[in-house]
Chains A and B, each alone.
Chain A
């Protein structure tokens, strides 16, 4: 959001190191393990306080799994996650539960994220009461405040979710995420299920809330428009790994990784004058994540692939603009010219 926040000496709010979430594939009567799907396979990133990190990638690349693992909905296979300097993956007990309250999530589908049997009031009151966020007699006042924060009239609190539109429901979902006064909110594609006009409203609401409550966001999305609008920095994921992280302008103006370039060229530009003539269309399909070969995951589809890409795995390298690609990182090893 503000450049000052990205200065190196500020301690990041969230630091993720080599995070892996694998799902085992079970078969047969005795549920033998016959392999695993590496949904998230060694991810490193950090988020500074007050910042929004966008996480983009195509469907199935593991971006949602990263979010779910961070809030504890999926069990991490390996790695460390430091939130507020506390390791939230290894710790347990009541102390950890308290820390976890500061980490909340907003879901993609506003229809399935609200319990159809509960009134808005009940949905918002429950977490406040259970964790004694405020004195019991102040709970209903707190609910009013939350509704006001997300731009809904107080009178709505006695209604049931089915009485609301998608955008209104998403606002209720945001109010619920705010009910425990969290520091970091994982936005798991919060606008992809909404109409475009409503998308803008929700994005602006999120931006306003960030300013007002000093929130930090991990914004997961596949639509580049929303991510560009809200993010300070963007991480691009492909098949369980982050291939590039940089500031938003940097990613859009100067993409390094061939996958990022392909992703950006798939993003429609409204102004025909600004459209570049050549579009990069990557061929082939995403490899089966249960049967990955060694080397670079993007090897089979990469227009720049060389023999080293097949044998070795590129690491995320670079200070200001880390990229995981031999073509970019090791130009000495690279003999062929970059054709992209």
Chain B
């Protein structure tokens, strides 16, 4: 947290004080908001900016898939497993569907799983972590033991079991990933809240008679946002990979709906791998590009939000 860090910095380096003063004077002229400083630092991180642009393009593709796609992704065409051509840009799959169009539509699935599940577990984790950290004592003890239990599940196996009970579908995958992912967020938030509630500005809010929910949501949580955002970004990448793995195993998104993972399922046969690379290389590349882009954004955010980094 910026506050705590300033204090620490000062203890480490006595010259820092002078530096801080100059920084303050410098800032006084510009009236910069916290957000602006972060944005500026983020923009200095080249890979992160590239990642953000790529991610933005993928989002555009997902949103406007029907307008970009050259064919109907579900329509079965005359050519089976045809190589790329002017008509079928990336060829057709073993059933005769256009691979290019299917890849475009599949980006919707990946982004929905990524953002949807992370949104769910971030909300759950934040609430549990915030309550646990702020109230402490017995509440904290109980919540943290539950978190420990959730953390000791072998995640992929639990997901497989739950999917086989409730059936594989896009919504189920999102919900399951969302419900299982919260413990790490809860721990992160709890840790930050624990240290923040001892900070004087929170104590002052208590003395000023501000209500507890208001203190939690308006004073403490905004200061937890930085690590949370970074964590969530990496979480999106992880969720996309889990969805791809599940779909590859046939436990995720079911055909005819396309997902990068279930498109890779075809690559389980040696003949496809060796003689029909257009079936598996494009979806594979899409997964790599998307996850890399998100991870670069996460790296950039982490550096931009880290108070110790100065440019």
Interface of A with B (CB < 8 Å)?
68, 71-73, 97, 100-101, 103-105, 107-109, 111-117, 126-127, 130-131, 158-160, 162-165, 173, 176-177, 179-180
Contacts and interface: CB of A to CB of B under 8 A. Distances in A.
Most chain A C-beta atoms within 10 Å of own C-beta, residue among B1, B28, B209: B209
Contacts of A111: 3, 6-7
B199 interface: yes
Contacts of A107: 200, 203-204
A126 B210 CA distance: 8
The prevalent SS among residues of A at the interface is loop
B272 to A, nearest CB: 53
B27 A163 contact: yes
A179 B208 contact: yes
Given A100-B209, A111-B7, A179-B208, A160 B219 contact: no
A25 B222 CA distance: 32
A163 B24 contact: yes
Interface residues of B, number: 31
B33 A73 contact: no
A72 B7 CA distance: 26
Given A117-B223, A162-B27, A105 B207 contact: yes
Interface of B: 1-4, 6-7, 21, 24, 27-28, 31-34, 199-201, 203-211, 214, 218-219, 222-223
Most buried by A among B2, B3, B4, B214: B3
A163 B27 CA distance: 6
Nearest to A158: B31
A127 B210 contact: yes
A104 B7 contact: no
A174 to B, nearest CB: 11
21 contacts: A100-B207, A101-B209, A104-B208, A107-B200, A109-B200, A112-B4, A114-B201, A116-B2, A117-B34, A126-B205, A126-B208, A127-B209, A130-B209, A130-B211, A158-B31, A159-B28, A160-B32, A162-B24, A163-B31, A176-B204, A179-B208
Quick one: which of B1, B3, B200, B222 has the most chain A CB within 10 A?
Answer: B200
Nearest to B26: A163
Contacts of A165: 21, 24
B212 to A, nearest CB: 12
Interface core residue of A163, A173, A176 (most chain B CB under 10 Å)? A163
B28 A163 contact: yes
A130 B210 CA distance: 7
B207 A71 contact: yes
A253 B174 CA distance: 76
| Complex A-B, nearest 6 residue pairs according to Cβ-Cβ distance, in ascending order | A113-B200, A107-B200, A127-B208, A115-B201, A112-B200, A117-B222
Contacts of B219: 115
Nearest to B23: A162
Contacts of B206: 72-73
A73 B223 contact: no
Given A107-B204, A126-B210, A126-B218, 4 more contacts: A111-B6, A115-B219, A116-B3, A180-B208
A160 B209 contact: no
Nearest to A195: B17
